[in-house]
């Protein structure tokens, strides 16, 4: 993702209360909504068009102006940040959840009084609500998300004498299953991202899935964590996999290749050469038709006491410069009601953040793995949305690769990571635990 430099953004006018909208020369109000349209099935445009019709039926004096941006994700993120600092006509904007903290710290997004919207408290998943809560206020409404967990191969587990359903409560339970799968001759007892070539997949779907279950995190109190017990134990989990001898050099080269997902689609459900896969809910889209072979379970925390996941997704925010903040919230509430979200995810295939949508029979039937992983959002976590993150992520990938390939021990990689982070972020911007 293209790095967005927010430090030099212009100062913006602060609003202590929401206004009632700006009246145009014809006595009406225009509400401008900016969103990213990835193309393909045009799910976003269809959704926004329906929301516009519903909203204008409720507010005949308001015209909703939809502004679709066909840029790729990186370009859209850059453009939307620039628009938020300079275009006072924007009211509602779609924002990558990853960028919300940085936009908030730069004063570009308005706090949203969700207490005026009862459905938000009642129907939206707590984990994603917590992720958009900063300084005691909500700054964005997550309308889609994703989660990660452990897929497992039922016939392979039965071959290894492991119980089904698989329900690990600690990391030791996962590693014990891996040992038994290895003893049963399974080629890949556990498959995961673990290389620099796999980029953010290695950071978010492997390392952050581990450290988020330790009690430590990579960024705390607005400082980068250079060293902590959770960093070392996360790398020790990977060292244990290496020390078990479960991967040959050829197997590692296959698993750690940037295009390994294509091989996985054959080896996991079809030839049954993989026992456990650590991956995201979207991967379930490749496994349709194999529901009797593959199942999913949440990733346990290191020592137990619950589960963990990592999430991204898209949100709707309100520009700090908007003079239509009250109407903007009303538009978001219409767009994100059960009926409209249900239609949207039916077209897009995205994971819903609404509980009532997640319980809908159509939603469940449309994607079993997505439906099973939607509750993981209750205990999910989000990446730090600060400028240095992409560079820190590269250091994480290097540490993970060095351990899973046996180039370094967990302790050596943790020490190298600490040294690199200190140099990267500079004095005063890191802590040790």
DSSP letter at 203 equals I
Return the sign of the alpha-carbon dihedral for residues 252, 239, 199, 100.
positive
Q: Report the pLDDT value the prediction gives residue 386, as an integer from 0 to 100.
A: 86
Burial class (CB in 10 A: 0-12, 13-18, 19+), 279: buried
Tokens of 299: 């990733």
- Indicate the CATH number for domain 29-142+314-349: 3.40.190.10
Gap between the Cα atoms of 409 and 106, Å rounded: 40
Domain boundaries, the chain: 29-142+314-349, 148-309+386-432
Burial class (CB in 10 A: 0-12, 13-18, 19+), 64: buried
The label of the residue with tokens 């994700």 reads 73
pTM: 0.90
Q: Report the pLDDT value the prediction gives residue 2, as an integer from 0 to 100.
A: 30
Q: Is residue 97 within 8 Å of residue 312, measured between CB atoms?
A: yes
Gap between the Cα atoms of 257 and 194, Å rounded: 9
Q: Is residue 38 within 8 Å of residue 44, measured between CB atoms?
A: yes
- Indicate the CATH number for domain 148-309+386-432: 3.40.190.10
Q: Is 406 helix (H, G, I), strand (E, B) or coil?
A: coil
β-pairing, 141-142 with 307-311? Answer: unpaired
For 127, residues 6+ apart whose C-beta sits below 8 A from its C-beta are: 309, 311, 377, 378, 379, 380
Region of 310 (left: φ > 0; alpha: ψ -120 to 50; beta: rest) is beta
Gap between the Cα atoms of 98 and 310, Å rounded: 11
For 316, residues 6+ apart whose C-beta sits below 8 A from its C-beta are: 92, 93, 94, 95, 140, 141, 143, 332, 335, 336
Q: From 5, 198, 182, select the one nearest 105 (Cα to Cα).
A: 5
For 413, residues 6+ apart whose C-beta sits below 8 A from its C-beta are: 235, 399, 400, 402, 403
Tokens of 136: 């005691």
Gap between the Cα atoms of 192 and 216, Å rounded: 21
Q: Is residue 184 within 8 Å of residue 160, measured between CB atoms?
A: yes
Gap between the Cα atoms of 393 and 214, Å rounded: 18
Tokens of 336: 């994100």
Gap between the Cα atoms of 360 and 213, Å rounded: 30
One pLDDT digit (tens) per residue for the chain, 433 residues: 333 334 332 222 222 234 344 455 556 899 999 999 887 779 999 999 999 999 999 999 999 999 999 888 888 988 999 999 999 999 999 999 999 999 999 999 999 999 989 999 999 999 999 999 998 999 999 999 999 999 999 999 999 999 999 999 999 999 999 999 999 999 999 999 999 999 999 999 999 999 999 999 999 999 999 999 999 999 999 999 999 999 999 999 999 999 999 999 999 999 999 999 999 999 999 999 999 999 999 999 999 999 999 999 999 999 999 999 999 999 999 999 999 999 999 999 999 999 999 999 999 999 999 999 999 999 999 999 888 999 999 999 999 999 999 999 999 999 999 999 999 999 999 999 9
Q: Report the pLDDT value the prediction gives residue 27, as an integer from 0 to 100.
A: 61
C-alpha neighbours within 13 Å on the C-beta side of residue 272: 15
What would the DSSP string read from start to end of 161-181?
T--SS----SHHHHHHHHHHH
Q: Report the pLDDT value the prediction gives residue 25, as an integer from 0 to 100.
A: 52
For 305, residues 6+ apart whose C-beta sits below 8 A from its C-beta are: none
Q: Is residue 315 within 8 Å of residue 385, measured between CB atoms?
A: no
Gap between the Cα atoms of 163 and 391, Å rounded: 41
Strand partners, 66: 33
Gap between the Cα atoms of 412 and 95, Å rounded: 38
Domains 29-142+314-349 and 148-309+386-432 share a fold: yes
């Amino acid at each position: 993702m293209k790095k967005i430099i927010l430090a030099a953004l212009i100062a913006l006018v602060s609003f202590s209360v929401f206004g009632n909208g700006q009246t145009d020369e014809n006595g009406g109000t225009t509400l401008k909504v900016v969103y990213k349209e990835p193309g393909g099935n045009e799910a976003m445009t269809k959704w926004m068009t329906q929301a516009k019709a519903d909203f204008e039926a409720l507010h005949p004096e308001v015209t909703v102006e939809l502004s679709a941006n066909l840029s790729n994700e990186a370009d859209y993120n850059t453009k939307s940040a620039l628009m938020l600092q300079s275009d006072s006509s924007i009211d509602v904007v779609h924002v990558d959840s990853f960028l919300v903290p940085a936009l908030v710290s730069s004063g570009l997004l308005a706090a949203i009084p969700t207490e005026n919207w009862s459905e938000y408290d009642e129907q939206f998943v707590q984990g994603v609500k917590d992720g958009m809560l900063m300084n005691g206020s909500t700054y964005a409404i997550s309308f889609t998300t994703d989660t990660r967990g452990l897929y497992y191969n039922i016939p392979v587990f039965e071959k290894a004498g492991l119980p089904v359903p698989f329900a690990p409560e600690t990391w030791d339970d996962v590693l014990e299953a891996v040992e038994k799968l290895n003893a049963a001759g399974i080629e890949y007892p556990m498959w995961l991202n673990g290389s620099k070539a796999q980029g953010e997949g290695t950071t978010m779907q492997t390392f952050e899935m581990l450290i988020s279950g330790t009690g430590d995190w990579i960024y705390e109190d607005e400082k980068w964590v250079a060293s902590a017990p959770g960093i070392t134990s996360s790398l020790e989990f990977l060292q244990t996999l290496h020390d078990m001898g479960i991967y040959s050099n050829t197997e590692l080269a296959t698993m750690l290749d940037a295009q390994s997902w294509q091989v996985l689609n054959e080896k996991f459900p079809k030839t049954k050469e993989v026992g456990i896969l650590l991956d995201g809910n979207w991967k379930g889209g490749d496994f349709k038709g194999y529901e009797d072979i593959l199942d999913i379970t949440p990733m346990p925390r290191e020592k137990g006491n619950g589960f963990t996941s990592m999430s991204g997704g898209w949100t709707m925010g309100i520009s700090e410069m908007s003079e239509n903040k009250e109407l903007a919230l009303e538009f978001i509430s219409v767009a994100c009601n059960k009926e409209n979200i249900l239609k949207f995810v039916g077209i897009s295939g995205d994971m819903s953040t609404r509980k009532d949508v997640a319980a809908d029979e159509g939603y469940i039937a449309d994607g079993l793995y997505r439906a099973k992983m939607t509750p993981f959002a209750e205990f999910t976590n989000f990446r730090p949305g600060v400028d240095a993150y992409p560079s820190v992520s590269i250091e994480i990938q290097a540490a993970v690769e060095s351990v899973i390939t046996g180039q370094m021990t967990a302790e050596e990689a943790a020490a190298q990571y600490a040294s690199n982070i200190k140099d990267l972020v500079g004095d005063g911007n890191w802590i040790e635990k």
